[in-house]
């Protein structure tokens, strides 16, 4: 009995402490995180993006002005710390700082909601087409091909003209055409996954096709979906900015970065601050999200060691 106790004690002592403390130390997710953490540009981008998000969603509550307050005694003031209009004012005396933060909130909401809807449609469409195969796959992908042929801006202008420039309609219009690439990426990954042994085993045990897609295919696409979603956010924000720049975005007095940039462009020679500050916020957000997306892509790439 004593000998058995000694052997067991010796075996426990021989096991590295890291095995007890970190049973998932060699998991792919842990390796991906380590590769991501080595990318200093991505880490700095995360910090900057977090600060922009916090400023846009909390900052307006801390400022003494509303986004639509007009001050007729402070029309077209340049940036100044003395008069509390740190970013200056526009031609109606509205504070540019609070309008930039509110505009950022709208642009970020469009980006996040649009990406969520894009991912949901794209994953559902691509996974269904890839797993079904055959004629169903061919028919569904022909729909994708036809969507590519539709002039996106023409449809956007038509929808905005007929139904107005409501916030939900802007999100819906952008998402209506943004899911196409996601569907093609997910379909390609699904075609590879459905040939794996665990899918054959699930199919052999009589698991329904819908359950296989939801419980086995989609979870294994999580890495690809996260990477693509991160890259999609700046694309949707930029698309909304372009639509707003063309006058097809949100309506006044509500604003977005695209609306502010559109207004600032026409006055950039006499009031350059109207273009500079919204442009800096938009460019910083796009760069940060692109850096993070590239870093995630490299981190989850199995070819990267």
At residue 28, the pLDDT reads: 62
Distance CA 288, CA 273 (A): 22
Q: What is the band of 124 on the pLDDT scale with cuts at 50, 70, 90? A: very high
DSSP letter for 65, please: S
Q: What is the largest CA-CA distance in the chain?
A: 93
> Per-residue confidence at 6, pLDDT binned at 50, 70, 90?
very low
Structure tokens at 258: 């695209």
- The CA-atom distances, in angstroms, between 167 and each of 171, 172, 254, 278 are 7, 9, 10, 19
How many Å apart are CA 221 and CA 300, to the nearest integer?
Answer: 11
The helices-and-strands tally (H runs, E runs) of the chain is 14, 0
The pLDDT value given to residue 120? 92
Measured CA to CA, the distance from residue 35 to residue 49 in angstroms comes to: 20
Q: What is the pTM of this model?
A: 0.78
Q: How far apart are CA 251 and CA 245, in angstroms?
A: 12
Mean pLDDT in residue range 285-305: 77
pLDDT, one tens digit per residue, over 130-143 is 999 889 999 999 99
Statement: residue 305 has pLDDT above 60: no
Q: What is the mean pLDDT of residues 151-157?
A: 77
pLDDT at 175: 85
Please, are residues 182 and 128 in contact by the beta-carbon 8 Å criterion? no
Residues 249/165, Cβ–Cβ less than 8 Å:
yes
What are the sequence ranges of the domains in the chain? 29-65+87-300
| Predicted pLDDT of residue 123 | 93
User: Which of 134, 132, 142, 216 minimizes the C-alpha distance to 184?
Assistant: 142
Question: Per-residue confidence at 247, pLDDT binned at 50, 70, 90?
Answer: confident
For 29-65+87-300, CATH gives 1.10.3720.10
What is the rounded average pLDDT of the residues 201-212? Answer: 87
- Per residue, the 3-state secondary structure of the chain, as one string, reads CHHHHHHHHHHHHHCCHHHHHCCCCCCHHHHHHHHHHCCHHHHHHHHHHHHHHHHHHHHHHHCCCCCCCCCCCCCCCCCCCCCCCCCCECCCCCEHHHHHHHHHHHHHHHHHHHHHHHHHHHHHHHHHHHHHCHHHHHHHHHHHHHHHHCCHHHHHHHHHHHHCCCHHHHHHHHHHHHHHHHHHHHHHHHHHHCCCHHHHHHHHCCCCHHHHHHHHHHHHCHHHHHHHHHHHHHHHHHHHHHHHHCCCCCCCCCCCHHHHHHHHHCCCCCCCHHHHHHHHHHHHHHHHHHHHHHHHHHHHCCCCC
């Amino acid at each position: 009995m004593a000998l058995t106790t000694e052997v067991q004690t010796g075996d426990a002592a021989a096991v590295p402490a890291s095995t007890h403390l970190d049973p998932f130390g060699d998991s792919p997710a842990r390796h991906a995180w380590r590769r991501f953490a080595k990318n200093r540009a991505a880490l700095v981008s995360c910090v900057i993006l977090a600060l922009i998000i916090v400023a846009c969603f909390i900052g307006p509550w801390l400022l003494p002005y509303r986004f639509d307050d007009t001050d007729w005694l402070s029309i077209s003031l340049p940036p100044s710390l003395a008069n509390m209009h740190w970013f200056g004012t526009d031609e109606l005396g509205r504070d540019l700082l609070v309008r930039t933060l509110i505009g950022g909130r709208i642009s970020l909401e469009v980006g996040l909601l649009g990406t969520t809807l894009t991912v949901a449609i794209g994953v559902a469409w691509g996974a269904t087409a890839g797993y079904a195969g055959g004629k169903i796959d061919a028919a569904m992908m022909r729909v994708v091909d036809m969507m590519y042929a539709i002039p996106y801006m023409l449809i956007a202008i038509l929808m905005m003209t007929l139904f107005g420039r409501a916030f939900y309609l802007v999100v819906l219009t952008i998402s209506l055409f943004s899911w196409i690439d996601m569907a093609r990426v997910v379909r390609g990954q699904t075609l590879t996954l459905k040939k794996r042994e665990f899918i054959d085993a699930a199919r052999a045990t009589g698991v329904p096709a819908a359950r296989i897609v939801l419980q086995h295919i989609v979870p294994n696409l999580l890495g690809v979906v996260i990477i693509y979603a991160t890259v999609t956010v700046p694309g949707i924000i930029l698309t909304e900015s372009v639509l707003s720049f063309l006058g097809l975005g949100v309506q006044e007095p509500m604003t977005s970065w695209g609306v502010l940039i559109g207004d600032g462009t026409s006055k950039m020679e006499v009031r350059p601050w109207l273009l500079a500050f919204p442009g800096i916020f938009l460019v910083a957000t796009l760069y940060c999200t692109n850096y993070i997306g590239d870093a995630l892509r490299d981190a989850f790439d199995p070819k990267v060691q």
